[in-house]
């Protein structure tokens, strides 16, 4: 009996986990613009402590034990022939890519600032980009963070922890930050930011300059449409949530009005048997929460069910965002629940239990030791 072929289009956080779960069931081909998992998580740790971030969030594919059974291809996707059930693209070496599939999982994610882009990159280019952003901020005496989401809050807190001598200010348009989270979470983090000396400035909506791109750290004054005087700092980090889905390679018929992939509650693309989407690219709910709530487990289960004639399960989205907002800190890892309450893993348990056993073995089913930054 011929094994089915499953193509995973995009090997970010959700795509890698889906590939791992499907690797024992089918012939899995994973297509990625990067030569490794380069996570979009934990921006604050990435900017302030790049070695720590690389250890946990930049992981070459050959370090994942369960990806030994997955054929990974570095390529830029350019299209899909839904009738012929084939995805096409351009390989990193310039050659043409054409991969047939019995099932397709779309997990190409989103672009959001310089830390989440779908461009083809070598390991050396990933490392250089990582170091350049860190060095730019390390050299600055003052930093402005623009944005009120998790990336902005995490960046302000982590930079203030790593560089207590810098002047760091957080500006956001609402009366409070973290509007997608329970109010208790912002109240708690507001207190921590204040204790670290971060200036907190609600009610500031930035004017985006002509030709503005959020994929670089800038140094010009920030002007506000809400009437305040311009703000100045040596470096300005834009974390304003200008999320763009990486779906230029897909037919318009698969997308909603914002360019995200339309899906049923089963994470299946309507009208196309065997085609699924998961992660930030999938229009599951306003928060696109299948990226963070075991959507990878459901999509893998539903792919197996679809190919074997079984019953598909439905995704149930949480009403609020939750999880670790600021990453591992010197005193451990704090995880926030949808209720706004938090529990803390002490630092010893993060090093000895959470990362090696819960994450590397529990989630990823085994990760070989190494660090891309050496």
In a domain, 290, yes or no: yes
Residues 88, 98: Cα–Cα separation, whole Å: 4
According to DSSP, residue 293 is labeled T
Containing structural domain, residue 138? 132-238
In a domain, 175, yes or no: yes
Instruction: Say whether both 217 and 275 belong to one domain.
Output: no
Q: What is the pLDDT of residue 374?
A: 43
Last residue of a domain, one of 219, 238, 257: 238
In a domain, 257, yes or no: yes
Instruction: Say whether both 230 and 147 belong to one domain.
Output: yes
Q: What is the pLDDT of residue 320?
A: 80
Q: What is the pLDDT of residue 177?
A: 97
pLDDT tens digits for range 160-213: 999 999 999 999 999 999 988 899 999 999 999 999 999 999 999 999 977 777
Q: What is the pLDDT of residue 73?
A: 98
Instruction: Say whether both 212 and 292 belong to one domain.
Output: no
Instruction: Say whether both 226 and 288 belong to one domain.
Output: no
Instruction: Say whether both 40 and 171 belong to one domain.
Output: no
Last residue of a domain, one of 324, 347, 364: 324
According to DSSP, residue 311 is labeled P
pLDDT tens digits for range 62-101: 999 999 999 999 999 999 999 999 999 999 999 999 999 9
Instruction: Say whether both 12 and 79 belong to one domain.
Output: yes
Instruction: Say whether both 51 and 118 belong to one domain.
Output: yes
Cβ proximity of 52 and 45 under 8 Å: yes
Residues 271, 284: Cα–Cα separation, whole Å: 16
CATH number of the domain where residue 204 is located = 3.50.50.60
- The structural domain count of the chain equals 2
In a domain, 354, yes or no: no
Instruction: Say whether both 160 and 191 belong to one domain.
Output: yes
Confidence class of residue 1 from pLDDT cuts 50, 70 and 90? low
Mean pLDDT (the chain, rounded)? 94
Cβ proximity of 353 and 328 under 8 Å: no
In a domain, 317, yes or no: yes
In a domain, 372, yes or no: no
Last residue of a domain, one of 238, 272, 307: 238
Q: What is the share, in percent, of the chain residues with pLDDT greater than 90?
A: 85
In a domain, 86, yes or no: yes
Residues 36, 220: Cα–Cα separation, whole Å: 34
Q: In the predicted model, what is the mean pLDDT of residues 244-265? A: 97
Instruction: Say whether both 202 and 250 belong to one domain.
Output: no
Q: What is the pLDDT of residue 323?
A: 84
Instruction: Say whether both 116 and 157 belong to one domain.
Output: no
Residues 203, 173: Cα–Cα separation, whole Å: 4
Q: Give the DSSP per-residue string, 238-271.
A: E-----EES-TTS-GGGB-TTSPBP--TTSBPTT
In a domain, 360, yes or no: no
Q: Sort residue 348 into left (φ over 0), alpha (ψ -120 to 50) or beta.
A: alpha
pLDDT tens digits for range 25-70: 999 999 999 999 999 999 999 999 999 999 999 999 999 999 999 9
């Amino acid at each position: 009996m011929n094994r089915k072929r499953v193509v995973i289009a995009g090997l970010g956080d959700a795509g890698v986990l889906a590939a791992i779960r499907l690797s024992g069931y089918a012939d899995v081909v994973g297509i990625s613009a990067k030569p490794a998992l380069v996570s979009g998580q934990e921006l604050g740790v990435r900017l302030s402590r790049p070695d720590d971030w690389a250890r946990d969030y930049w992981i070459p594919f050959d370090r994942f034990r369960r990806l030994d059974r997955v054929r990974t291809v570095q390529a830029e996707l350019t299209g899909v022939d839904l009738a012929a059930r084939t995805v096409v693209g351009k390989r990193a070496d310039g050659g043409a890519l054409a991969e047939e599939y019995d099932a397709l999982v779309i997990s190409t994610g989103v672009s959001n600032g310089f830390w989440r882009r779908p461009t083809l990159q070598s390991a050396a280019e990933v490392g250089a980009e990582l170091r350049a952003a860190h060095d730019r901020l390390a050299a600055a005496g003052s930093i402005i963070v623009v944005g009120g989401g998790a990336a902005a809050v995490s960046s302000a807190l982590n930079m203030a922890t790593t560089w207590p001598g810098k002047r760091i200010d957080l500006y956001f348009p609402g009366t409070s930050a973290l509007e997608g989270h329970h109010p208790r979470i912002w109240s708690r983090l507001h207190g921590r930011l204040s204790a670290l000396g971060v200036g907190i400035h609600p009610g500031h909506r930035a004017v985006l300059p002509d030709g503005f791109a959020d994929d670089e750290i800038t140094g010009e004054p920030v002007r506000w449409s809400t009437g305040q005087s311009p703000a100045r700092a040596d470096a300005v980090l834009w974390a304003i949530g200008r999320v763009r889905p990486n779906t230029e390679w897909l037919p318009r018929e698969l997308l909603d009005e914002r360019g995200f992939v339309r899906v049923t509650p089963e994470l299946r693309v309507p009208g196309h048997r065997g085609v699924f989407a998961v992660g930030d690219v999938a229009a599951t709910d306003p928060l696109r929460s299948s990226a963070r709530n075991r959507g990878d487990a459901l999509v893998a289960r539903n792919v197996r069910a679809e190919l074997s004639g079984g019953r598909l399960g439905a995704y149930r989205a949480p009403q609020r965002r939750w999880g670790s907002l600021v990453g591992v800190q010197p005193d451990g890892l704090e995880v926030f629940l949808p209720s706004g309450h938090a529990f803390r893993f002490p630092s010893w348990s993060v090093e000895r239990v959470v990362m090696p056993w819960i994450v590397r073995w529990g989630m990823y089913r085994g990760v070989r030791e190494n660090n891309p930054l050496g």
